[in-house]
Structure 1
Amino acid sequence: MQNQTVQEKVAFSQNAITPSSLIWFAPNHPKFMILWKIRKTDVKKQMLRSLNPCGRLQSPLSHNIVLLCWTLVFLLHYSANMMSSTLVETVSINYEDFNDSFLTCGTCLCIYDSTEHSPKLLPCSHTVCKSCLVSIVDAQVHDTGTFRCPICRETIGIPRGGVTSFPPSFIVNQLLDLMSQQRRDVIPKCSNHPSQELLFCETCDTVFCTLCTGGEHNGKGASEHTVIPFSIAIKRMSEILLYKAHLCIRNLTTAYDNVSGEMLRLESSVERTIENINRTFQDLINLIDKRRHEVLQKVRKIREHKKADLKEQLDLIQAEKEKVQNECDGLQYQVEVRNITKKIGDLNEKLDATSTLGEPRENHFIKCEFRHNTAYKDISNALANFGCIKVSTTFPALSTAKISKAITHLRSSVTVTTVDYHGNPRTTGSDPVVSELRSETGEQIETRIRDKDDGTYEITFVPPKAGKMKLYISIFDRSIKDSPYTIEVSDHNNPAWKFGCRGTGLDNFIQPVRVVTDKEGSIFVSDTGNSRIKVLNSCVELERHITSEALEKQSGIGVCVTPTGNLTTVNWRTKTVYTLSNEGELLSKFTSKLFQEPIDVAVNSKGDIIVGDMGAAKVFMFDAEGNLLLQFGKKGDKEGQFKLLTSVTVGCNDEILVADHRIQIFDKNGKFLRQVVNTGKGQQQLFEKIPLQVNECSLKLPVYPPVGH
């Protein structure tokens, strides 16, 4: 070949070539190959110099060993101009030739082994098999205790232990071990050119013969393709196959261990369940047995009572009987007719009495009924429904979780949806879902799990600060799909929607101060600057404006929805409370001499009107007609006092919530209950000049800092 270039595949120092620099290209191939840099110097001398810096060989065997080490494996990498692709050619040594040359005893021509023909290293550095060495020693040794090496004829002394004491040839044994580990692969040849090895293009994934294709396999477009011998490609693919098979076996082993572990856990779970069933039913048996003893005791008690009555009657009969017998004794000797007549009269009376004594005062009847009411049927039905064996078909590896937006200090939720092995959504709950939420620093955050009993579970938490968090979710101690989940927690709570801008137009605001909603979802915005209430529908579309004398002079400030669906507002300038229909019609109004600067209004479930007065630092409660019911509060910053009252609202149970520099909660009669105090540094005015609202009876208080914060 002309214009051949040799590319370096192994980094060698210019003055030193060490065996550790060898890179085995296919260590399991029967024909050992290595990529090797060729220089114009005497390669043989450079190799020998690298092993012996002095330039001298210790023995002829050392020379052979060096040649062996560097002749075993080498590869020439050509970039051939006759082909349009990068071609890798190999020069190899025949397996049988290698055995005959280096692994065969030069005396008996037997291949070295680990028994009879084990290689023995002589002091002259030559190697002879054990069998030949025994024969040579037996033939040559008489009284001298020496023999001659069959290769170099050097005189060698016999050690005390005899032939077996000669050390084994380490290099030959290493070569034997190496050769025993090699596979006998076949080099693929072209069917049309038996002497030509097939090549493989990694880019095109094509096998071809250079003679059959004329030096090209895919036209001029294959100039950048990588071509290697097909035998090496087979070796590589075999290694990949073995690697994949190893991974597959490892995964299957893991799967087997997991399933086996699940079977063990199943047995343990069954044992616990059986124990629980036996214990629970034993409790039922104890209850039934207790009731049985109670009924039996009652029967015995009734028996004793009846028996006592009958015994008393028997004693009375016996006493009367004895009395009659005593009176009748000696009557046969009685001759006085008058006495006899009297006795006969007495006996007639006793005869009448004995007729009543002949009837037992008590009876023997006693019976226990079990069907006198529905108790038996109820117990039967209850027992039939008592105990429910719950199982789950949930497959955690296919179950997923939906992450919603997480805002600091607000309740966030994650919905877990479970499916079975076939991917079908489950419709029942009771799965042992476990969640663990951790911050970036490893701090664990409390989570709560709510079973919706429809195959889904809601995990709620309140993130304390912004940043990334990891949520680990498992079912049956097995992680669900994509667990752990990364949750981005933000300090910013972007609005779901927004409406309007500053101005006096239909969609504009100048000073919106209160927002309330009714049961239909309509939104009422009190715009003090425009002296109107803007009404939006549930789709945040403008429906109408409410204008009234209650809103004149930019003084209508507080607004709320009454239980009847009307609107109640207060005008701080006129010190008047107005009730309007949701269409804006004035229904009623009232004022009070106690008002100084009424700032907000609320209505409880009874229709009582609660007015917060910033000037008087009081909260007033009126009935619907304007009659004062109660008042509480005074100027100050203690509990039950108001420093700068700004807002008032009611809770689910008619609690009264009042905001100044804190939020104070009173019961419906004005008794102080508790307060919410801002503990943030530098935010003393957090609750001042803000609207206050209770949402969905959950005591969630949307509060906003003053303007500019």
Structure 2
Amino acid sequence: MTTISMRPPGDLSLESLRCMGSSHLVETVNINLEDFSEAFLTCSTCLYQYDQDERKAKLLPCSHSVCLVCLQQLLQVQQNANAPSSCLRCPMCREVFALPQGGIHLLPAAFMINQLLDVMNKQRKDVVPHCALHPDDNMLYCEGCDLVFCQHCQQTATNKKCSQHTVIPLAIALKRMSEIMLYRTKNRLKSLEQAQTAINEEIRLLDENADTIVDQINSTFQEVSHIIEARRRELLESVRVRRDDKRKVLRDQVETLSDETKRLEKELETGALDVRELGRKIREWEGNGGDDRMNIEPRENAFLRLNNDTKQLIQDVSSCVGSFGGLSASTTFPGTSTIDQTEPSTTHTESTFRVNTADVNGKPRNTGGDPISAWLEGDGIEKVQCSVKDNENGSYDVTFRVRDAGDYNLHVKIFGRPVKNSPFLVSVIDHHSPKWQLAVELKQPTRVCLDGPEFYVLDTGNNRIRVVKDNGDVVSDITSPCLEGGSAVGMAMVEKERIAVLNWKQKSVSIIDTKRGEIVRKMVHAELQAPMDLAVDRRGRLLVADVEKVFVFDPQFQLLFSFAPKNNHITCLNVGLNDDIMVGTNQGLQLFDGAGRFLREIPVGSSRPMLVESCAVCPSTGRIMAGVVDSKTRRPQLAVALYKGQFVFHIDSFGSRLRRPSGLSMGSGHRVGQCFVVDHACHTVRMYKFL
């Protein structure tokens, strides 16, 4: 079949072969030459195809056509048999006809067949363009601009795609095209076979799942039937037992009365009655009154009743059975479902990707319940299984955590088949930028505390405490004399609606009412020199960090004890786990117990000394966060360490550099894994993830 195929991108096709200038393309038709030739252009005697030379088609008087070679052979056979050579017999209908005087060459030609031969010979010409100006030149094909031209027209053939033609003979280009088409066709066939195998496998799994569910349904209802049958037998047995017990009592009473009756009847029959004895018994019967009823009336009764609420039972059973075994199915099509990245992926912290499902037509789905598997692969690491959260709206959150930066492949499968863009290339970086920033005006803030959905920010430069929501809405501004002078440097939540404030100029600790801003209690201690931080533990003790000592006061401001780290200046403090005391110094971070006894150093980075400006611990995870400044590079960053003393990683705040992390507060509840950092120099509060 001579056809012209469509051109895939980047490949050569016969339709794409265009001649420049006077070149033209020979038109072709879609015709099956083999079938047509076999039916109309083949000699029925020898089955050879007619041509314009020795196998010319001759038209016989009977209207049949035979080639010249067959007619010559028939005539030769007839002459060898000494038969007259002036006539021949048609090899198809056996009709005898007379030959012309000049022999078989003068038989008329089959003009219709000859015309068809001319047409078909024209159609058999190769569909190859030729140059009208230079028809004898071989055609060339440019691989760069997809043009066809002869050698003489090459200089005039221009195209914006290429400045210099890269030419090959057109015959080679056509051969390459056919090879490419053949290769792609074979690949397509292979893909179709694989698709058919996959569909058959899906059908097998569908039947297998359906059979499993049918078995589960039958097993469950059979078990329920056994329970109902067991209860039925139990009730029937209880009826039988109670009936037999009552019947035995009544039968025994009947036998007793029968024996008494027989004895009296016998005495009456024999006449052997003792009148005095009989009178005595009659008096006893009459005197016993109610006692005699025990012998005369039935000692048992026929009362039996089934205590049940049949209507309620039927309703309960119907409700339970009706709510059992809801069958769920899904129209999710993995080939139209996609993986979307919601945020940059960073080392040591949880990365979340969104899987959005759709049906076979690409319509987003709004229900969940699909079986999704997800894992991460990369060079040099083992397969990392990802956790999947069903959002029950057609989307799923896939989360994972890795320690090393690099490129990874995220694989997501639904029903065991990969989604549209799986594997998804994930680039994990070791730079950690803030995830959120408090959108509120601040001036030189120093501390932040969390109380449910509200943030308390010590806005030192504005002599106030700002109470705001995470969306930036200001709830209130707390002002108080203890906040004046721009010298309030410490803040800690004491109890509900009570907050402690440290003022380094006044050398005082004040408890203020968060609603009215009034000072409830105030303490000024003579030993305080330049206090810079404040914390409150679970026992209500107040911890005050001074330059050289840590002072511990009870809730009534009575000094309990003080202690000092060795050879270091104190820079900050906070409460650790189990009411331990974390003390930041100009050399690092130290941990003390609740009595002020040294426990261990907490590593916050390299072996060089690190100035610790702030610190906090997450009670839920035991992770310590510290705002540190490298003594050599003077670069502020956040250090993450384990409470037992192992350093984990640094948060460099890339893209939004920290300048002075003066206060930290750890999130709890749904905020676990979040650290809120007050940047004194940038006048803001930011949130970083450390999990």
TM range (shorter): 0.5 to 0.7
| Residue 342 of structure 1: how far off its partner (Å) | 3.0
Sort the Cα spacing of 1:681 and 1:565 in 2 relative to 1 into closer, same or farther, 3 A: closer
Cα distance in structure 1, aligned partners of 2:417 and 2:384: 21
1:196–1:209 CA contact under 8 A, matched in 2: no
Select the residue among 333, 355, 359 that pairs with 1:395: 333
User: 1:48-87 counterparts in 2 under 5 A?
Assistant: none
CA–CA distance in structure 2, aligned partners of residues 447 and 189 of structure 1: 59
Residue 172 (structure 2) pairs with residue 238 (structure 1): no
Residue aligning to 1:423: 362
Structure 1 match to 2:514: 581
Name the aligned partner's letter for residue 612 of structure 1. L
Q: What's the counterpart of residue 551 of structure 1?
A: 483
| Other structure's SS at 1:702 match | strand
Map of 1:36-55 to 2, 5 A cutoff?
Answer: none
Counterpart of 1:646 in 2: which secondary structure? strand
Aligned-partner residue type, residue 351 of structure 2: S
Structure 1 distance, partners of 2:270, 2:576, is 106
Q: Secondary structure at the match of 2:447?
A: strand
Match in the other structure for 1:294: 234
Q: How far apart are the structure 1 equivalents of 2:561 and 2:298? A: 81
* Helix, strand or coil at the partner of 1:240: helix
Within-5 A mapping of 1:412-491 = 412-491=351-430
Pairing 1:109-120 to 2, within 5 Å after superposition: none
One-letter amino acid of the structure 1 residue matched with residue 405 of structure 2: A
Q: Any conservation in 1 of the 2:442–2:459 contact (CA below 8 Å)?
A: no
- TM-score, normalisation: structure 2: 0.57
Tell me by how many angstroms 1:382 deviates. 1.0
The more displaced of 371-380 and 595-604 is 595-604
What letter is aligned with 1:464? R
Residue 229 of structure 1: how far off its partner (Å)? 6.8
For 2:592 and 2:540, the matched residues in 1 are separated by 18
Query: AA paired with 1:589?
Result: R
Structure 1 residues 341, 370: closer, same or farther in 2, change over 3 A? closer
User: Relative to structure 1, is the Cα distance of residues 627 and 237 closer, same or farther in structure 2, using a 3 angstrom cutoff?
Assistant: same
Question: How far does residue 536 in structure 1 lie from its aligned partner after superposition?
Answer: 5.7
Partner residue, 1:694: 667
Counterparts of 2:135 and 2:662 in 1: how far apart (Å)? 97
| Cα distance in 2 between the residues matched to 1:618 and 1:325 | 113
With over 3 angstroms needed to count, the CA separation of the structure-2 counterparts of 1:546 and 1:345, relative to structure 1, is: closer
Distance in 2 (CA, whole Å) between partners of 1:340 and 1:565 is: 100
Give SS of 2:407's match. strand
Match of 1:254 in 2: 194
Matched, 1:646 2:573: yes
* Matched position secondary structure for 1:391: coil
Q: CA RMSD in A?
A: 5.2
1:120-164 Cα distance to aligned partner (Å, 9 max, x none): xxxxxxxxxxxxxxxxxxxxxxxxxxxxxxxxxxxxxxxxxxxxx
Q: Shift of residue 593 of structure 1?
A: 9.0
Q: Check whether the contact 1:566–1:580 (CA below 8 A) recurs between aligned residues.
A: yes
**Post-superposition CA distance 1:262-281 (Å, at most 9, x none):** 22222222233333333333
Change (3 A) 1:409 1:314: farther
Contact 2:535–2:544 (CA under 8 A) maintained in structure 1: no
**Amino acid in the other structure paired with 1:281:** F
Is this contact kept in 1: 2:537–2:579, CA < 8 A?
Answer: no
| Residue 344 (structure 2) pairs with residue 371 (structure 1) | no
Q: 2:443 matched to which residue of 1? A: 508
2:498, 2:511 within 8 Å by CA — same for their partners in 1? no
Q: What is the correspondence of 1:631-670 to structure 2 with a 5 Å cutoff?
A: 646-648=573-575, 659-660=582-583, 661=589
C-alpha contact (below 8 Å) 1:435/1:474 kept by paired residues = yes
- Give per-residue Cα distances to partners, 1:571-601, cap 9 Å, x unaligned: 576543322335x721522559999879434
How far the C-alpha of 1:284 sits from its partner, in A, is 2.4
Q: Tell me the CA shift for residue 425 of structure 1.
A: 1.5
What residue identity is the alignment partner of 1:303?
R
Is residue 467 of structure 2 the alignment partner of residue 494 of structure 1?
Answer: no
Question: Structure 1 residues 307, 541: CA separation in 2 closer, same or farther (over 3 Å shift)?
Answer: closer
Q: How many residues align?
A: 489
The residue identity in structure 2 corresponding to 1:695 is S
What SS does the aligned partner of 2:373 have? Answer: strand
- Letter matched to residue 258 of structure 1: A
Q: Whose RCO is larger (CA < 8 A, sep 6+)?
A: 2
Contact 2:665 2:675 in 1 (8 A): yes
On the 8 A contact 2:497/2:513 being kept in 1, the answer is no
Paired residue type of 1:467 = G
For residues 274-297 of structure 1, give each alpha carbon's deviation from its aligned partner in whole angstroms, at most 9, with x where no partner exists: 333333333323333333343334
Instruction: Indicate conservation of the 8 Å contact 1:648/1:692, yes or no.
Output: no
Spell out the pairing of 1:154-165 with structure 2 (5 A cutoff): none
How far did residue 254 of structure 1 move? 1.8
Structure 2, unmatched stretches of 5+, are 1-19, 24-123, 584-588, 595-618, 623-642, 651-660, 682-691
Q: Give unpaired runs (5+ residues) of structure 1.
A: 1-82, 87-183, 638-642, 667-671
After superposition, give the CA deviation of every residue in 1:590-624 in whole Å (9 maximum; x if it has no partner). Answer: 559999879434598xxx956334579687775xx
Distance 2:560 2:400 in 1: 37
Amino acid at match of 2:513: L
- Please give the alpha-carbon distance, in whole angstroms, between the structure 2 residues aligned to 1:699 and 1:196: 83
Q: Is the 8 A contact 1:595 1:613 kept in 2?
A: no
Show the counterpart of 1:280: 220
User: What amino acid is the match of 2:520?
Assistant: S
Is contact 1:568-1:580 (8 Å) kept?
A: no
Cα distance in 2 for residues equivalent to 1:594 and 1:307: 98
Displacement of 1:192 in angstroms is 8.8
CA contact (8 A) 1:659 1:692 kept: no
Q: Deviations over 1:211-270 (max 9, x none)?
A: xxxx65995647955777766655444333333322222221221121122222222222
Q: Contact (CA 8 Å) 2:439, 2:471: kept in 1 or not?
A: no
Alpha-carbon distance, 1:679 to partner: 0.8
- List aligned pairs for 1:346-365, cutoff 5 A: 346-348=284-286, 355-365=293-303
Higher strand share: 2
Question: Is 1:437–1:469's contact at 8 Å kept on the other side of the alignment?
Answer: yes
Q: Distance in 1 between matches of 2:217 and 2:443?
A: 68
1:387: how far off?
Answer: 0.6
Is the alpha carbon distance of 1:364 and 1:531 closer, same or farther for their aligned partners in structure 2, counting shifts above 3 Å? same
> What is the rounded CA distance, in whole Å, between the counterparts of 1:681 and 1:386 in structure 2?
49
Query: Which residue identity does 2:664 align to in structure 1?
Result: P
**Partners of 1:436 and 1:412 in 2: CA distance:** 13
In structure 1, the partner of 2:250 is 310
Deviations 1:504-559 (A, max 9, x none): xx7531xx4311355565x4322557754356664558898654222346653443
Relative distance call for 1:563 and 1:185 in structure 2 (3 A) is farther
Change (3 A) 1:490 1:455: same
Other structure's SS at 2:669 match: coil
2:323 aligned with 1:385: yes
Give the counterpart letter for 2:184 in structure 1: K
Aligned to 1:342: 280
Contact 1:500 1:507 in 2 (8 A): no
Secondary structure of 1:647's match?
strand
Cα distance in 2 for partners of 1:541, 1:369 equals: 64
Distance in 1, matches of 2:550 and 2:446, equals 20
Alpha carbons of 1:294 and 1:609: their partners in 2 closer, same or farther (altered >3 Å)? Answer: farther
Quick one: percent identity of the two aligned structures? 25
- Give 1:486 deviation, angstroms: 2.5
Query: C-alpha distance in 1, partners of 2:178/2:401?
Result: 54
Q: 2:405·2:429 contact (CA, 8 Å) conserved in 1? A: yes
Q: 1:226 to 1:380 in 2, by over 3 A?
A: same
Counterparts in 2 of 1:261 and 1:329: CA distance versus 1, 3 Å: same
Paired AA for residue 611 in structure 1:
L
